[in-house]
Structure 1
Amino acid sequence: MKLYLMIASLFVASFTFAQEASSSTPPKVWSLKDLIDYALENNITVKDATLNKNLAEVDYSKAKSSRLPNLFGSASQNFSSGNTIDPITSDYVTDQINSTNVGINSSMTLFQGNQINNQIKQNKLLLEQSVFQEEVEKNNIVLNLLETYLQTLYSKESIAIAENNLAASEKEVLRAKARLDAGTFALSDYTEAQSQEATNKYDVIAAKNDYQQYIIELKQLLELSPLQDLEIETIDENMDLVNLELNKTTIYNKALNFLPEIEVSNLNIAANEKELDIAKGGFLPTLSLIGSLGSGYTSISDNTFSDQFDVNFNQRIGVSLNIPIFNRNQTKAAVKTASINIEKAQIQKQSTEKDIYKKVETAYQNALSAQEQVIASEASKTAAEQSYKLAQKKYELGSLSTTDLVINQNTFTNAQQNYLQAKYLNILYHQLLQFYQGNDIKL
Structure 2
Amino acid sequence: MKKFLLIGLGLLGAYSVNAQEKREWTFEECITYALDHNIDIRQREQNVQAAENTRQASTLNFTPSLNLNAGYNWNFGLSIDPVTNVPSSLNRQTGNLSLSSQLVLFDGLRNVNQYRQARVDYMASVYNLDAVKNDVAVNVASSYLQVLMNKEIYVVAVEQYNNSVRMFEQAQRRYDAGAIAEGDLLQSESQMASDEQRMVVAENNVALSRLQLAQLLQLDDPSSFDIGRPEFDLPAGSVLTRSPMSIFTAAREIQPVVQASEMNVQSAELQLSQARGRYYPTLSLTGAISTNYSDRIPVFNGTTTVVDQIGYWDDNGTSVPVFTSYTVPTGQEVKAFNSQVTDNLNEFIGFNLNWPIYSRYQIRNEVRFQQLQLENAELEQERVENQLLQTIQRAHADAQASLKSYDASTKAVQAAELSLEYARIRRDEGAISQFEFDNARNNYLAAKSQQLQSKYDYIFKIRVLEFYLNNQF
Q: Does 1:251 align with 2:241?
A: no
Closer, same or farther in 2 for the Cα pair 1:141/1:270, shift >3 Å? same
Q: Could you tell which deviates more after superposition, 386-395 or 90-99?
A: 386-395
Cα 1:439/1:301, change in 2 over 3 Å: closer
In the alignment, structure 1 residue 85 sits paired with structure 2 residue 85? no
- Deviations 1:169-212, CA, capped at 9 Å, x for gaps: 21222223333333443333333322222222222221122112
Do residues 270 (structure 1) and 302 (structure 2) align? no
Q: Note if contact 2:254-2:471 (Cα within 8 Å) is conserved in structure 1.
A: no
1:391 — aligned with what? 423
Which of 113, 117, 139 lines up with 2:112 in the alignment? Answer: 117
1:308 corresponds to 2:304: no
Cα 1:245–1:285 change in 2 (3 A) is closer
Q: Percent identity of the aligned residues?
A: 27
CA distance in 1, matches of 2:232, 2:60: 58
User: Closer, same or farther in 2 for the Cα pair 1:221/1:258, shift >3 Å?
Assistant: same
Structure 1: give runs of 5+ residues left out of the alignment: 1-22
Contact 2:211 2:222 in 1 (8 A): no
Matches of 1:237 and 1:386, distance apart in 2 = 26
Q: Is the CA contact (8 Å cut-off) linking 2:19 and 2:226 kept in structure 1? A: no
Task: State whether residues 275 and 370 of structure 2, in contact with CA within 8 Å, keep that contact through their aligned partners in structure 1.
Answer: yes
The separation in 2 between residues aligned to 1:109 and 1:124, in whole angstroms, is: 21
What residue in structure 1 maps to residue 316 of structure 2? none
> Which of the numbers 123, 128, 131 marks the counterpart of 2:126?
131
Deviation per residue, 1:3-53 (Å, 9 max, x gap): xxxxxxxxxxxxxxxxxxxx9986543222222222222222221221111
1:279 aligns with one of 275, 290, 294? 275
The structure-2 alpha-carbon separation of the partners of 1:290 and 1:120, relative to structure 1 and needing over 3 Å to count, comes to same
- Give the letter aligned to residue 133 of structure 1: N
Give yes or no for the alignment of 1:68 onto 2:63: yes
Change (3 A) 1:188 1:326: farther
Report which stretch shifted further, 124-133 or 72-81.
72-81
Residue equivalent to 2:321:
none
Q: SS at 2:241's partner residue?
A: coil
Tell whether 2:357 aligns with 1:325. Answer: yes
SS of the residue corresponding to residue 62 of structure 2 reads coil
Which has the higher mean CA deviation after the structures are superposed, 300-309 or 272-281?
A: 300-309
* More deviation, 352-361/312-321: 312-321
Cα–Cα, structure 1 residues 270 and 24, in superposed 2: closer, same or farther, change >3 Å? closer
Counting strand residues as a fraction of each chain, which structure ranks higher?
A: 2
C-alpha separation between the residues in 2 aligned to 1:43 and 1:190? 55
Moved more, 102-111 or 275-284: 102-111
Match of 1:186 among 164, 177, 181: 181
Asked if 1 retains the 8 angstrom alpha-carbon contact of 2:78 and 2:88, the reply is yes
Deviation, structure 1 residue 60: 0.9
* Alignment partner, residue 438 of structure 1: 470
1:111-137 superposed Cα distances (whole Å, 9 cap, x missing partner): 222111111111111111111111111
Is 2:79 aligned against 1:47? no
Q: Which is worse superposed, 414-423 or 306-315? A: 306-315
- Report the Cα distance in structure 2 between the residues aligned to 1:102 and 1:217, rounded to whole angstroms: 66
Preserved contact between residue 241 and residue 427 of structure 1 (Cα < 8 Å):
no
Measured against aligned partners, the alpha-carbon deviations of 1:143-180 in whole angstroms (never above 9, x if no partner) come to 11221111111111010111112111212222233333
Q: Which secondary structure does the structure 2 equivalent of 1:339 belong to?
A: helix
Residue 166 (1) aligns with residue 161 (2) = yes
Match of 2:376 in 1: 344
- 1:241 is displaced (CA, Å) by 3.2
1:325 CA displacement: 2.5
Structure 1 position 377 matched with structure 2 position 404 = no
How far apart are 1:100 and its partner, in Å? Answer: 1.8
Contact (CA 8 Å) 1:384, 1:415: kept in 2 or not? Answer: yes
1:439: Cα distance to partner? Answer: 6.4
Note the C-alpha offset of 1:382. Answer: 0.7
Extract unaligned runs of 5+ from structure 2. 1-17, 299-334
Q: Which residue of 1 aligns with 2:330?
A: none
**Pair 1:260 & 2:256 matched:** yes
Alignment TM-score, normalising by the size of structure 1: 0.88
State the Cα distance separating 1:311 from its structure 2 match: 1.2
The answer to whether the Cα contact below 8 Å between 1:101 and 1:295 also exists between their aligned partners in 2 is yes
Change in CA separation of 1:54 and 1:177 when aligned onto 2, cut-off 3 Å: same
User: Secondary structure, in 3 states, of the residue corresponding to 1:106?
Assistant: strand
Structure 1 residues 98 and 240, CA, compared in 2 at 3 Å: closer, same or farther? closer
Is 1:33 aligned to residue 65 of structure 2?
no
Q: 1:419 to 1:195 in 2, by over 3 A?
A: same
Q: Which has the larger radius of gyration?
A: 2
Q: Report the aligned-residue RMSD.
A: 2.2
**CA separation in 2, counterparts of 1:359 and 1:389?**
43
Residues 241 and 430 of structure 1 are in contact (CA less than 8 Å); yes or no, is this contact kept in structure 2?
Answer: no
Structure 2: how far apart are the matches of 1:244 and 1:396? 49
| Greater CA drift, 176-185 or 38-47 | 176-185
| Partner SS, residue 292 of structure 2 | strand
Cα distance change on mapping 1:82 and 1:366 into 2, 3 Å: closer
Query: 1:292 touches 1:315 (CA, 8 Å); kept in 2?
Result: yes
Q: Distance in 1 between matches of 2:426 and 2:237?
A: 36
Contact 1:162 1:200 in 2 (8 A): yes
Helix, strand or coil: the match of 1:100?
strand
2:171 to 172, 176, 185: 176
Listed one character per residue, the Cα deviations across residues 288-314 of structure 1 (whole Å, up to 9, x for unaligned) are 232222222211111222211111122
More displaced, 149-158 or 365-374?
365-374
